[in-house]
Amino acid sequence: MTGSRVRVGAWLVAEDRDRAYDGSSEVDNSMQERTQIMVPLLTLDVRVTDQFGVQAAASIPDVTRSAVIPRPAGPATFSETFSGIGDTSLIGWYKLRPVNGWYTVVNVGTSLPTGKTERPRFREELQDGSLVPMSRLQRGSGTLDPLVGANAARRFRRVMTAFGSVAARLPLYENGNGLRTGASWEVNSGLARELGTSRLTGLARLAWLHRNQDVFEGTSVLVGGGNWLYLTPGIAAQIGKGINVQAEVKVPIYRSLANTQLDSPAIFQFGISRAF
């Protein structure tokens, strides 16, 4: 946010989970299950001083889950959709003094439970000691969850920047419906390089993401959880004064899931921001 005190942004994150995986192996998706996810994200970043600032972000998830259910009278198509305000995050960031050319920013905050939650439904029997969900569409965690992170960057040869970051969301307790969202953390590093002009930048990022399974009243929920390794190419452009546009494709090059679940071949991210 050099030279500006306020930046507003809008992002769109989209993925289509239509492939079933057991651990790292793709398996048959016999009921043609599919989960389509679109999440608009609005951000506001305010620099209070040269070293300290605050950032707020609000999500508006739109999720559709569908499947083809076999029945004696013939297959029936099942579909359910939910959309609306999700959780909101509020973070304070602090810029440390540079060390050997590396500029580091640390941040601490919390997610606010502004997203709607519902009591999930489960099958009566356990599978491998875990609950099997029948319906668990949630727009948020329903709890105040600590958020912590740090990122660092260093510029090389005037046209190249190396960067890295670590971030974690750490739910500590169950919400009012008995569901505790699994903790997650992500570590990534990458390079960005100017492409002929300072207004156009190409980037590549390698990221490791870990998610714990959700827990309902002390028992693990048998959907969700695992490890992903993502390779993310992207491009960013400065348009006019203070306007930046960025597009990325997040491709899982390795996954090790905690159970059989749907996953997507790619996650698409597009954003635009304006500094004032």
| Residue 252 vs residues 42, 122, 187: alpha-carbon distances, Å | 25, 29, 14
> Which pLDDT band holds residue 139 (cuts at 50, 70, 90)?
confident
Q: How confident is the model at residue 61 (pLDDT cuts 50, 70, 90)?
A: very high
Q: Is 114 within 8 Å of 141 (Cβ atoms)?
A: no
- Asked if residue 198 has pLDDT above 80, the reply is yes
Q: Is residue 54 part of a domain?
A: yes
Query: Could you give the dihedral angle defined by the CA atoms of residues 20, 124, 173 and 167, in that order, rounded to the nearest 10 degrees?
Result: 0
User: Residue 1 pLDDT more than 60?
Assistant: no
Q: How confident is the model at residue 137 (pLDDT cuts 50, 70, 90)?
A: low
* Residue 119 belongs to some domain of the structure: yes
1 within some domain: no
| pLDDT exceeds 70 at position 3 | no
Calpha distance 250→18 (Å, rounded) = 16
Confirm whether 192 is domain-assigned.
Answer: yes
The number of folded domains in the chain is: 1
pLDDT at 136: 62
Mean pLDDT of 25-33: 92
pLDDT of residue 2: 54
Whether the predicted pLDDT of 275 surpasses 80: yes
For residue 58, give Cα distances in angstroms to 11, 37, 103, 115, 211: 10, 16, 27, 10, 21
Range of the domain at 124: 6-275
Q: Could you write out the three-class secondary structure of the chain?
A: CCCCCEEEEEEEEEEEECEEEECCEEECCCCCCEEEEEEEEEEEEEECCCCEEEEEEEECCEEEEEEEECCCCCCEEEEEEEECCCCEEEEEEEECCCECCEEEEEEEEEEECCCCCCCCEECCCCECCEECEEECCCCCCCCCEEEEEEEEEEEECCCEEEEEEEEEECCCCCCCCCEECCCEEEEEEEEEEECCCCCEEEEEEEEEEEECCCEECCEEECCCCEEEEEEEEEEEEEECCCEEEEEEEEEEEEEEECCEEEECCCEEEEEEEEEC
CATH of the domain at 24: 2.40.160.40
For residues 242-268, average pLDDT: 96
For residues 221-228, give the mean pLDDT: 90
For residue range 83-110, what is the model confidence (pLDDT) as tens digits? Answer: 999 999 999 999 999 999 999 999 999 9
Domain-located, residue 70:
yes
> What is the per-residue pLDDT for 223?
80
